[in-house]
Amino acid sequence: MIQQVVFAIILLGFSFFIARRISLIKKGIQLGKQTPLTGSTSARWKNVLFIAFGQKKMFKRLVPAVLHLLIYVGFLIINLEVLEFIIDGLAGTHRFFAPFLGSIYSVLMNVFEFLAVAVLLSCVFFLIRRNVLKIPRFWSAEMTSWPRMDANTILMVEIVLMLAILTMNATDQLLQIHDPHYTATGSLFFSSFFIPVFENLETGTLIFVERFAWWFHIVGILGFALYVTHSKHLHIFMAFPNTYYAKLEPKGHINNMPVVTNEVKSMLGIAEAGATPPAEPGRFGAKDVNDLSRINLMAAFACTECGRCTSECPANLTGKKLSPRKIMMDTRDRVEEVSKSIASGGAGLSDGKTLLGDYITKEEINACTSCNACVEACPVMINPLDIILELRRYVVMEESGSPASWNSMFQNIETNFAPWKFSPSDRFNWPKDQA
Amino acid sequence: MNIPTLAELTAKGQSPDVLFWVGCAGSFDDRYKRVTLAFAKILNAVGVSYAVLGTEENCTGDPARRAGNEFLFQMQAMSNIQVLNGYGVKKIVTACPHCFNTLKNEYPELGGNYEVIHHSAFLQQLINEGKIKLSVDNAFKGQKITYHDSCYLGRANNIYKAPREVLEALNADLVEMKRCRTTGLCCGAGGAQMFKDAEKGKKEINIERTEEALATGATTVAVACPFCMTMMTDGVKNKEREAEVNVKDLAELIAEATGL
């Protein structure tokens, strides 16, 4: 009984802290501007189904895709077992589903164990890729100590959690022999390998190890769930909404600014009669996170810092400061900073800092060739280019702070209707230029 | 060479099937003017009913928008749309992927709705329809050609096949670079980079890309974009390989192969 009460308190406690984090993240994303969602809903669901759920874009790189798929399937299916853990914990039962499922239970447990081993091995491979093989994209400039530790923590926690399941099942199998309280599960293939480690222990110690592994696993999962909300690992949830809200237009399309359209139309004297006067335009482009769209901010929480974007960015590849991954990481960091500050009654957005300037520099955004390699590379359809362009808009339209040669290009377009300094009357000389 | 303008044809009460949007590089850049001429020769030879805007054409506003100057972009777009709609233009072909992208994807929101085709797709159609006939023994037969994907055709608009089919029609030996199609490396000039110096770094992007193109052993680097043309030509010169390696646009290759 005491165990059940303790379990209920732990469950409620973690649920409370997780709910509080979710609410903070939600408020953070809501700092952004609401933008109308256009295009077909079925196309959006198709993206969720194929790209988030089906991991289609992961398979551009086969080795990590297969390892990642094992962890992903393991995550989805092992979570079914967590349901049983919670019922057992609250009701004081042991293997609640076993009597209902009969022999299927044994099959399911073996499947879970197979996945646990697959997850464990994949995580080991991933640790090797990061820390021994040192794949360059995991070591670029923005991968400072916290992001590197975050990645390693996730992998190590997953390994330990899987070991706990196998330990639990191994000791459980030994206890089944003598004690009818331990529901017979039939032989469990993978955890049987661990039986030799435990078979000489006394029954009391076995019970202790089994219970310890059980508690360790479930509390570990709850703790991990809370950790995930602070970590890059949040992509396991955010990838789904992110693919739903991702842009459907061709990648070359840049979002229109209707506020500007209204002003340009009235400047050209072609405003529609009876058109409502343009609303107060606010800030042109983006200086801080509240100038970006909610979709941009949500994307920052969907980023798992895999760095595929940066590893294909032509600017980054040739040593420029721009890294599309850093754009997303900075955006998230700034949202976290502002929303935490607001939650604790601080200055929030008016803390004297801004996304552009304090996090992202002009040198970074000026290096972008808008080639869409980052957008194409992202397995969950994040669009760093969208943010870069909004920042550029702010620099030009609010600060007139573009590089001098861009300002000359603007001037040429204004006066000569071409980005170079040629007379518009010479535009049709090309047919005469040939002999 | 006789190049009809839309103003002339309209005055005569004619309306051509397609407008050839030349673009600023096609009008002013010495190297790309040769591409414009090559494409115009093809249009004339095939007997396509077309016209150009001549001096009535203005920059689409692409570099302004990508550099962040939305006002200037929309000023350009609106005045171009007024001209295009004034002539009742329905279909546009252009040899510039940046103009193509802007006209096709960004003008509709501002009231300009046209069927827009890039010249690579237009050439492919003419070849498929048998209007351009390439002899099996043309000048490029068996020659090693590599195609450099323009970002604004490829990733931006999913056009990967058309330019390659045009090159295959030359009966040439088409070789791919390591990074091609969806992972094609940018030439370094998009996003208004054409109009400024690169930011500080270890290397120029066009050099990186040129090295990749030269590594294929191709004697011709085929491009389909004026900016790519400049960047790849500069890259080949920088590597002092301009004597053996040509950088050519698809239209030039077709014009040469058909003896135009």
Per-residue pLDDT for B199 more than 80? yes
Same domain, A11 and A140: yes
Q: Which of A267, A318, A373 sits opposite B155 (nearest CB)?
A: A373
DSSP-assigned beta bridge partners for residue B21: B94
B190 touching A, CB under 8 A? yes
Q: In Å, how far is A379's CA from the nearest CA of chain B? A: 13
Interval A210-234: pLDDT, tens: 999 999 999 999 999 999 999 999 9
Task: Judge contact between A48 and A355, C-beta under 8 A.
Answer: no
A270 touching B, CB under 8 A? yes
Q: How far apart are the first and last CA of chain B?
A: 12
Residue A210 lies in a domain: yes
Same domain, A84 and A217: yes
Same domain, A219 and A308: no
Contact call for A402 and B202, based on CB within 8 A: no
CB atoms closer than 10 angstroms to residue A410: 24
- Mean per-residue pLDDT, B12-34: 97
Size of interface A-B (CB pairs under 8 A): 218
pLDDT-derived band at A273, boundaries 50, 70, 90: low
A400 touching B, CB under 8 A? no
| Domain residue ranges in chain B | 6-123, 134-257
Kindly report each contact of residues A127-136 with a partner whose C-beta sits within 8 Å and lies 24 or more positions away, as own/partner: A127/A152, A127/A155, A127/A156, A129/A64, A130/A155, A136/A311
- Mean per-residue pLDDT, A291-311: 98
Same fold, B6-123 and B134-257: yes
Contact call for A397 and B202, based on CB within 8 A: no
**Phi, psi torsion values for B248, nearest 5 degrees:** -135, 150
Closest alpha carbon to A278 in A257, A264, A263: A263
pLDDT of res. B174: 97
pLDDT of res. A270: 80
pLDDT of res. A435: 45
CA-CA distances (angstroms) from residue A18 to A12, A22, A149, A234? 10, 6, 21, 12
- Mean per-residue pLDDT, A310-321: 98
Same domain, A224 and A122: yes
Look-up: residue for tokens 């599960």?
A185
A312 touching B, CB under 8 A? yes
**Phi, psi torsion values for B89, nearest 5 degrees:** -65, 135
pLDDT-derived band at A256, boundaries 50, 70, 90: very high
Task: Judge contact between A337 and A360, C-beta under 8 A.
Answer: no
Q: How far apart are the first and last CA of chain A?
A: 99
% of chain B with per-residue pLDDT over 90: 97
Task: Judge contact between B73 and B65, C-beta under 8 A.
Answer: yes
- Mean per-residue pLDDT, A95-124: 94
Per-residue pLDDT for B70 more than 90? yes
Quote the CA–CA distance of B59 and B52 in Å, as a whole number. Answer: 14
Q: Which of B28, B69, B79 sits opposite A420 (nearest CB)?
A: B28
Per-residue pLDDT for A276 more than 80? no
* Residues of chain A found within 8 Å of residue B192, distances taken between Cβ atoms: 370, 406, 409
Domain B6-123, CATH class in plain words: alpha beta
pLDDT of res. B136: 87
* Residues of chain A found within 8 Å of residue B74, distances taken between Cβ atoms: 257, 260-261, 264
Contact call for B67 and A434, based on CB within 8 A: no
The domain that contains A307 carries what CATH number? 1.10.1060
Domain range spanning residue A355? 284-410
pLDDT-derived band at A280, boundaries 50, 70, 90: low
Quote the CA–CA distance of A435 and A380 in Å, as a whole number. Answer: 54
The correct CATH number of B134-257 out of 3.30.950.10, 3.50.50.60, 3.60.9.10, 3.40.50.2300 is 3.40.50.2300
- Mean per-residue pLDDT, A368-379: 98
pLDDT of res. A368: 98
- Mean per-residue pLDDT, A191-196: 94
Interval B140-187: pLDDT, tens: 999 999 999 999 999 999 999 999 999 999 999 999 999 999 999 999
CA-CA distances (angstroms) from residue A145 to A141, A149, A150, A153? 10, 6, 8, 12
One-character DSSP codes across A23-71: HHHHHHHTTSBP----S-HHHHHHHIIIIIIS-GGGGGSHHHHHHHHHH
Residue A403 lies in a domain: yes
Per-residue pLDDT for A114 more than 50? yes
Same domain, A213 and A335: no
pLDDT of res. A274: 63
Q: In Å, how far is B126's CA from the nearest CA of chain A? A: 23
A287 touching B, CB under 8 A? no
Cα dihedral A135, A147, A329, A304 sign: positive
Chain B, residues 12-71, CB within 8 A of chain A, namely: 22, 24, 26-29, 33, 36-37, 40, 52, 54-55, 57-59, 61, 63-71
* Residues of chain B found within 8 Å of residue A389, distances taken between Cβ atoms: 66, 68
Per-residue pLDDT for A160 more than 50? yes
**β-pairing, B246-249 with B173-175?**
unpaired
pLDDT-derived band at A267, boundaries 50, 70, 90: confident
Residue A260 lies in a domain: no
Quote the CA–CA distance of B211 and B216 in Å, as a whole number. Answer: 9
B204 touching A, CB under 8 A? yes
Contact call for B106 and A363, based on CB within 8 A: no
Residue A224 lies in a domain: yes
Per-residue pLDDT for A434 more than 80? no
Chain A, residues 121-140, CB within 8 A of chain B, namely: none
Among A22-26, A281-285, A348-352, whose mean pLDDT is lowest? Answer: A281-285
Both structure tokens of A358: 């304090």
Residue A397 lies in a domain: yes
Quote the CA–CA distance of A72 and B22 in Å, as a whole number. Answer: 50
Q: Which of A396, A413, A426 to mutate to test the interface with B (most CBs of B within 10 A)?
A: A413
pLDDT of res. A279: 60
Average pLDDT, chain A: 94
Query: Residue A293: CA atoms inside 13 Å, Cβ hemisphere, count?
Result: 21
Among A211-215, A270-274, B41-45, B120-124, whose mean pLDDT is lowest? Answer: A270-274
Same domain, A405 and A300: yes
- Mean per-residue pLDDT, A419-425: 96
pLDDT-derived band at A268, boundaries 50, 70, 90: confident
Contact call for B198 and A367, based on CB within 8 A: yes
% of chain A with per-residue pLDDT over 90: 88
Complex prediction ipTM:
0.96
A393 touching B, CB under 8 A? yes
Among A102-106, A189-193, A370-374, B90-94, whose mean pLDDT is lowest? Answer: A102-106
Chain B, residues 129-158, CB within 8 A of chain A, namely: 151-152, 155-158
Both structure tokens of A71: 């962890």
Overall number of domains in chain A: 2
* Residues of chain B found within 8 Å of residue A393, distances taken between Cβ atoms: 68-70
How open is the CA angle A104-A106-A107, to the nearest 5 degrees?
A: 65
Interval A44-68: pLDDT, tens: 999 999 999 999 999 999 999 999 9
One-character DSSP codes across A235-294: HHHHHHHHHHHS--S-TT-----HHHHHHHHHHTT-PPTTPPPPP----SS-SSGGGSBH
Look-up: residue for tokens 């709850």?
A222
Among A72-86, A243-257, A386-400, B174-188, whose mean pLDDT is lowest? Answer: A72-86
CA-CA distances (angstroms) from residue B102 to A65, B62, B80, B124? 35, 6, 12, 21
Residue A371 lies in a domain: yes
Quote the CA–CA distance of A80 and B38 in Å, as a whole number. Answer: 65
